Amino acid sequence: MSATHSEPLLHQVAGLPPLPGVYRYFDADGQLLYVGKAINLKKRVSSYFQKNHGGTRIGHMVSKIVRLETTVVRSEAEALLLENNLIKTLNPKYNILFRDDKSYPYLKMSGVSGQTGPAAFTRVSYYRGAVEKKHRYFGPYPSAWAVKEAILLMQKVFRLRTCEDSVFSNRTRPCLLYQIKRCSAPCVGHISAQGYASDVANAEKFLRGDAQDVMLTLESRMLAHADKLEFELAAELRNQVAALSGVLHQQSMDNVEDRDVDILAVKVQGGKACVNLAMVRGGRHLGDRPYFPVHVDDALGVEEEEGGEADKKSVELQVLEAFLAQHYLHVPMPATLILSEKVGKPLLQALSAQLGVNVHAVHQPREHRRAWLDMAQTNAGLQLARLLAEEGSQRARTRALVEALDLTFENLDDVRIECFDISHTAGESAQGSCVVFCNHAMQNAQYRRFNIEGITPGDDYAAMRQVLTRRYGKLAQAWNEAKRAGQTPVGAARMPDLVLVDGGKGQVGVAREVFESLGLDLALIVGVEKGEGRRVGLEELVFADGREKVYLGSDSAALMLVAQIRDEAHRFAITGMRAQRAKVRMGGGKLEEIAGIGPKRRAKLLQRFGGVRGVALASLEDLASVDGISHELAEEIYRALH
């Protein structure tokens, strides 16, 4: 056993059971280093401490281990699933990690046959979120673009409606979509409920991959109308058949064997990796989506040891297996996978157990599957090349900014910049934003929004003072205490190396006052002042510590980075402000929470007073004059909104 580890730790390792399970290594600061699985915990964990790993990555990791945690499970499949759940949840440094992305989008069909009004005519829409049983969902799709393309097909071929129920209910004549033959206008009775339901059924068959069946059905109906001399109806169906035929030809949808398939190709280069996931749903290739894992460099040396000398894995295989295990934990999975690498049977068995269906993996496909995989491999290479080029460019921009501001850093990866902006509409729904740049990229997960309250509407200086105080008040206290104790906070708990403020002398002056009151270094504050005519590229940097303004030049890499961060702060602030404003104007918030106010009464109130603000300004008498609002309910509304 290793002489560099404590006796309690070595005793714990020696006492581990020869059972399947998951183990976790921690360093002296309590940081999780690595999560691993084992068929035999005792044998697997002991190997880390018995071997001489030298100066390898695994040796560096093992030297940091001071604590061990284990969990015994019933099988290798359970161990694999638990391992990857923990990896995604705890973000260990020495594991390949695929970060959670936004949920996949779906094509949603809402509406129930047999109902009246809008509900009787199914609506097609884009949807992202948790699915509900009362609606039908098709997908998932790799991107929003793919869903929108599918919706366009539904409009072009089957003329299904996409309008909101409120619009549907209030139409008195067909809209433009009817005029351009993208909707059959069920809102004004231009198609019967039965006819529309038939189009919906055909659309669902099409999305499930039964396109040829739909074609035959339409052709038979067309001929039947022609035999009855109903030539106008036959002509409508002829146009529908022609549109569907064009789609089938354009997308080569003559393959009915592969209904739902995922194609995965991996590319590793320059310490980075890309897994390109392409999706086939209903026999149609819907496009692809790249994924870039983190910790690849740190993890590879450790992951190679996981299987032992007899089971060495290529780097590509390690990355692909990590993706499969982590990605499909909470994402719907098809029964067929086409892979660029041959994955192990235990992983496929674990995925099959989770899915409840036998997962079939194809490593060396033929014919159309070969073409799909070749395309996925090409895209993986292109996406990885783009990432490497962008990272090289971002690193150069970071270096240029550090040099321009005479900052000193041993490691450019550690540079942390926070940028603030204020957004409002004539004082309404004021919001402050804080965006974070670190590791040469914007860190979306660390963004923050601040609702501005208790100030004179439109007072940007007061808004900035409030935002900076709320952001750095407690942080400054903890930071100063840590400095006095000789400690250095890390990550989001530490002060940024640069604080950008979108504004000139006025905003910088406010930031200086806040930092002086908190005992923080004024040299951190830099204002981004718009140049003459507010033209991009003419910005100047304003400093809180008395230095002269700096103009970096329109072609400066440093200014490009400053503008990128500033623009992101502005985007984040204005989207938050618009959402808050829409919530206030369109009836979000307290009005929905008042007992006795259902959708109909709420709609009447908003229609009468033009929004929640108008309702709040209305008197008791005005509220009680609305149809369906009693005097008692008017008093309840008045109290709730005041």
**Residue 563 above 60 pLDDT?**
yes
CATH of the domain at 417: 3.30.420.340
Using only C-alpha atoms, the chain has a radius of gyration, in whole angstroms, of 30
> Is residue 255 situated within a structural domain?
no
Place of tokens 């086939």: 280
Based on the fold, state whether residues 277 and 374 are members of the same structural domain. Answer: yes
- Which residue range(s) make up the domain with 285? 261-385
Check which CATH number belongs to the domain holding 61 and give it: 3.40.1440.10
Return the amino acid letter for 449: R
Query: Is residue 491's pLDDT more than 90?
Result: no
What are φ and ψ of residue 423, in 5° steps? -140, 140
Tell whether 493 is covered by a domain. yes
Pair (81, 165) in one structural domain: no
pLDDT band at residue 358 using 50, 70 and 90 as cut-offs? confident
In a domain, 35, yes or no: yes
Indicate if 313 and 367 belong to the same structural domain.
yes
List, for residues 396-414, the tens digit of each pLDDT value.
888 888 888 877 776 788 8
CA distances from 537 to 417, 553, 560 (A): 20, 7, 8
Residue 392 lies in a domain: no
Judge whether 418 and 500 are in contact, CB under 8 Å. Answer: yes
Position 300 scores a pLDDT of: 63
Q: Which of 347, 370, 385 is the last residue of a domain?
A: 385
Do 14 and 85 belong to one domain?
A: yes
Q: What are the tens digits of pLDDT across the range 205-231? A: 888 777 667 777 767 777 776 777 767
The last residue of a domain, from among 551, 582, 613:
582
Which tokens hold the place of 141?
């799709």
Contact call for residues 241 and 206 (beta carbons, < 8 A): no
The whole-number pLDDT of residue 210 equals 72
**What 3-state class would DSSP assign to 283?**
coil
Nearest residue to 476 (alpha-carbon basis) of 524, 508, 509: 524
Length of the chain: 642
516 in a structural domain: yes
Task: Examine the fold and report which residue of 250, 284, 313 is the final residue of a domain before the chain moves on.
Answer: 250
In this prediction, residues 452-479 reach a mean pLDDT of 86
Residue 441 and residue 553 in one domain: yes
At residue 587, the pLDDT reads: 46
Residues paired with 442 in a beta bridge? 437
pLDDT at 113: 55
Distance of CA 15 to the CA centre of its chain: 43
Above 70 in pLDDT, residue 55?
no
> Whole-model pTM above 0.85?
no
Please indicate, yes or no, whether residues 518 and 421 belong to a single structural domain of this protein: yes
Residue 61: both structure tokens together: 């990791």
Residue 234 and residue 145 share a domain? yes
Give me the pLDDT at residue 533, please.
60
225 and 76 in a single domain? The answer is: no
Rounded Cα gap, residues 631 and 411, in angstroms: 68
Enter the DSSP assignment of 484.
H
Q: Which residue has the tokens 């789609």?
A: 247
Q: What is the number of structural domains in the chain?
A: 5
Residue 46 in tokens: 């002991």
Q: Which range among 99-113, 414-428, 560-574 shows the weakest confidence by mean pLDDT?
A: 99-113
Residues 623 and 596: beta-carbon distance below 8 Å? no
Model confidence pLDDT, tens digit, residues 11-20: 898 899 999 9
Half-sphere exposure (Cβ direction) of 432: Cα atoms closer than 13 Å: 25
What CA–CA distance (Å, rounded) separates 13 from 15? Answer: 5
Task: Taking residues 456-467, report their average pLDDT.
Answer: 88
Token pair 């407690």 in the structure block, residue: 474
| Spatial separation of the C-alpha atoms in residues 127 and 285, rounded to whole Å | 19
- Paired sense of beta strands 525-529 and 428-438, if any: unpaired
80-106 pLDDT, tens digit each: 888 888 888 888 888 888 876 567 888
Residue 530 lies in a domain: yes
DSSP E strand stretches across 271-357: 272-281, 284-291, 336-339
**Is 195 found in the same domain as 115?**
yes
- Same domain for 591 and 573, yes or no, is no
| Nearest-angstrom CA–CA distance, 582 and 607 | 15
Where does the pLDDT of residue 250 fall: very low under 50, low under 70, confident under 90, or very high at 90 and above? Answer: very low
Q: How far apart are CA 614 and CA 338, in angstroms?
A: 58
Residues 198, 296: one domain? no
> Among the ranges 63-67, 153-157, 548-552, which has the highest mean pLDDT value?
63-67
The predicted model gives 529-536 an average pLDDT of 70
Asked whether the beta carbons of 175 and 155 are under 8 A apart, the reply is no
Amino acid 389: pLDDT: 83
Q: How far apart are CA 386 and CA 297, in angstroms?
A: 19
Task: Look over the chain and give the mean of its residue pLDDT values, rounded to a whole number.
Answer: 81
Q: Where are the beta strands (DSSP E) in 111-179?
A: 123-128, 136-138
Category of 189 on φ-ψ map: left (φ > 0), alpha (ψ -120 to 50) or beta: left
The mean-pLDDT minimum among 68-77, 107-116, 331-340, 570-579 falls in 107-116
Select from 447, 440, 443 the least CA-distant residue to 400. 440
Q: Are 120 and 111 in contact (CB under 8 A)?
A: yes
In a domain, 398, yes or no: no
Residue 270: per-residue pLDDT? 78
Element (H, E) at 352: helix 345-355
The DSSP output letter for 494 is: S
Percent helix, strand and coil across the chain, each rounded to 5? Answer: 50, 20, 30
Structure tokens at 415: 């540079």
- Helix axis angle, 231-250 relative to 211-227, nearest 10°? 160
What is d(CA 126, CA 149) in angstroms, rounded to the nearest whole number? 10
What dihedral angle (degrees, nearest 10) is formed by the CA atoms of 122, 287, 325, 32? -100
Which CATH number characterizes residue 275's domain?
3.30.420
241 in the same domain as 110:
yes
Q: Tell me, what DSSP letter sits at residue 554?
A: T
* Beta-carbon contacts of residue 146 (< 8 Å; ≥ 6 apart): 105, 279, 286, 287
Residue 420 is predicted with a pLDDT of 93
Residue 97 lies in a domain: no
Say how far apart CA 286 and CA 151 lie, in whole Å. Answer: 13
CATH of residue 604's domain is 1.10.150.20
